[in-house]
Amino acid sequence: MSQYSQQPEIPSRLPLRTLPVEVAERIAAGEVVERPVSVVKELVENALDAGAHEIRVEVRGGGLKLLRVTDDGYGIPEDELERVCLRHTTSKLARFEDLSRLQTLGFRGEALASIAAVAEVHLLSRTIETERAGLIEPALGITVRGGEIVERGRRARVHGTTVTVRDLFYNVPARLKFMRGARTENGHILQLLRRYAMGYPAVRFHLQLDEHIALQTSGSGELALTLAELYQLPLAEMLHPVHVSDGQHYTVSGYVGNRALAQANRQFITLFVNGRWVQTRALLDALEKGYRGSLSKGKHPLISLFLTVPPDEVDVNVHPAKTEVHLQYEESILAALTRAVRGVLEKSPALPEEVQFPGPLLATQRSLPLPKRRGLRVSESAEGYNVSTAPRDEAEIIAHLRPLAQLQQAVILAEASDGSLYLIDQHRAHERVLYEHLRSRYTGIRSEEEVTDAHMLLEPVIVEMKRHQAELLEERLPMLRGLGIECERFGGRSFLVRSVPVSEGNEQLIPHLQELVSLAAEDADDWEAHLLISLACRSALRRGRVLDHAAQASLLKALAQVAAPAVCPHGSPVLLHYSRSFLIDKFEW
């Protein structure tokens, strides 16, 4: 008999038994403590729930040697300190119904118990009440190892709690074997603290990685200022505030960065639901839908948005790590997120310099003073930042642009009322104007009766289709006729085009009729959008076309009236903005 046909040996059944407590504790710990960053997450969330205004995190050896989280929250009473490391103990809910009204980041009583099961944990805490009462007795501290209290003592400290975790996974060698290097673990911790710093701008965060300051924020309460401290941005130019609400079920607020801040990965997109950072796929897809047509392929914007919903309209217990949520009014919220992002980037001009954000590992460099100009360091104070982030009305700015010259017969140079300069790509600007005109005038036409004006060609143009295209195109002939493209079957797979839409530049469409008709025969739901974009592109002013001053002014006036003046229908930038502060900085005026 072949060795591959042998039946596996069936082991004898083992009797059912109750696991020893120490084994059960380690299994439970594996559900909560996956790696050092899991410990930091639990401890920081506890500090935030305790009303901390300052949180300091110290990490050594990637968190495996030491993790220390210190806060100035309201502290743990002495008679409760020894019980906080017991499973299923919590001060954040009392009955099952409280889950539907939960407003804290955590509630699982097993967090500290699970950490203590796989590490040595030292707890030192003093309540704010003892400090206010003028009691001078040192704070009580305990050391828990392997789930057992091994030491008690007292030390002086102000109100708050310090949790020190040493020798993580010392008794779980299998987990320890799969840990990455300290550099990787530090990167995960830094990324986590950045999210909390954005989510809680009124809290001062301080992160120290192996004796180096990696992150610190001022706790000013201003999200814009916190973003500046993390990424050192010229705020007045690059951050656009967002605030939308239906007044009942949701409020969306925060910032979307200028297109110049777009990066090649999604790590700078952060979304919070009721103060909790989430990674719900539907919400992230809604954000991407908002920027996909406004940025180059592969680019992703800086987004820091807060979604606030009534607690009883969100379920945070979808995922063990609570990074996914279910929303009761999800459909309307998704649409609001998409509109919020799109509304910024469609009106966000390009800037002369792109910004490269600090990577997760650059932060291990030694802290240096804040430079006067843009840089990549993340350990700095907020002094000197311009935090004027009032929304810019781009339409109003464009409407009052004063054209100065046409450059290279392709770009219009114009001056704004504040002294800043704009470069406007004349082809893309005209393409945007034509596209929005076509879309508003023609979208939704479905019958011959809704025919718009057409420009009849002196000689009809014959176009050839593939067999599957021909059948699809014949079904859409009434729609094309409504667009002003008179087209009829000419036998077999041939079609005769007799007219094009009436618009400026329609004579430029004739050499592209084969391409345009092929787009109308696409087997895709968005074929109409593709056709309108191509019609606008092929009709728009070409580069190399000389424009006099009146023509330049007319184009700028038309651009000011469209919904998305900063990007062409393909998502490429129309405007390049040289702000007054940029000119002052570069010329050192």
Please identify, among 306, 339, 362, the residue that sits at the C-terminal boundary of a domain: 362
Percent of the chain with pLDDT over 70: 80
pLDDT tens-digit map of 45-90: 989 988 999 999 999 999 999 999 999 998 988 888 888 877 655 5
pLDDT of the residue at 425: 96
1 in a structural domain: no
Q: 188 to each of 41, 191, 206, 216, 280, how far by Cα in Å?
A: 11, 5, 15, 16, 19
Q: Are 329 and 313 in contact (CB under 8 A)?
A: yes
Which carries the bigger pLDDT value, residue 555 or residue 134? 555
Burial of 281 (0-12, 13-18, 19+ CB in 10 A): exposed
Residue 270 shares a structural domain with residue 192: no
Same domain for 308 and 175, yes or no, is: no
Q: Which domain holds residue 116?
A: 21-216
Confidence of residue 141 (pLDDT cuts 50, 70, 90): very high
Least confident of 268-277, 445-454, 522-531: 445-454
The 3-state DSSP class for residue 145 equals strand
Q: Do 330 and 251 share a structural domain? A: yes
pLDDT tens for each residue of 512-527 = 999 999 998 888 888 8
- In which band, very low, low, confident or very high, does the pLDDT at 92 lie, cut at 50, 70 and 90? low
In this structure, the answer to whether residues 471 and 506 fall within a common structural domain is: yes
Residue identified by tokens 């980037």 is: 345
Say if residue 89 is in the same domain as residue 181.
yes
In a domain, 406, yes or no: yes
Q: What is the pLDDT of residue 557?
A: 95
Q: Based on the domain organization, do 504 and 401 belong to the same domain?
A: yes
Query: What is the model's pLDDT at position 445?
Result: 52
Residue 367 maps to a domain = no
Q: At residue 384, does pLDDT exceed 60?
A: no
The answer to whether the CB of 295 falls within 8 A of the CB of 348 is no
Least confident interval from 22-36, 200-214, 445-459, 512-526: 22-36
Residues forming beta bridges with residue 71, ordered by sequence position: 55, 161
Q: What is the pLDDT of residues 320-354, one digit of tens each?
A: 566 788 899 999 999 999 999 999 999 888 888 77
Q: Count up the domains in the chain and report the number.
A: 3
Could you tell me the CATH number of the domain that includes residue 325?
3.30.230.10
Check whether residue 474 and residue 578 sit in a common domain: yes
Decide if 383 is inside a domain.
Answer: no
56 with 141, same domain?
yes
Q: CATH number of the domain that 574 lies in?
A: 3.30.1540.20
Q: Given a cut of 50, is residue 96 above it in pLDDT? A: no
Average pLDDT, whole number, for the chain?
Answer: 82
Yes or no: say if 454 and 502 are a contact pair by the CB < 8 Å rule.
yes
Q: Which residues lie across from 67 on neighbouring strands?
A: 59, 165
Q: What secondary structure does DSSP assign to 367-390, as a single string?
A: P-PPPSS-----B---TT-----P
Q: What is the pLDDT of residue 234?
A: 60
Lowest-pLDDT choice from 249-253, 293-297, 302-306, 368-372? 368-372
- Same domain, yes or no: 128 and 168: yes
Confidence label for 422 from pLDDT (cuts 50, 70 and 90): very high
Say if 378 falls within a structural domain: no
Distance between CA atoms of residues 31 and 12, nearest Å: 29
Phi, psi of 583 (to 5 degrees): -65, -40
The C-alpha atoms of residue 401 and residue 560 are separated, in whole angstroms, by 9
Tell me, yes or no, whether 180 and 228 share the same domain. Answer: no
What single DSSP character describes residue 16? P
Contact 142, 82 (CB under 8 A): yes
Model confidence at 388: pLDDT above 80? no
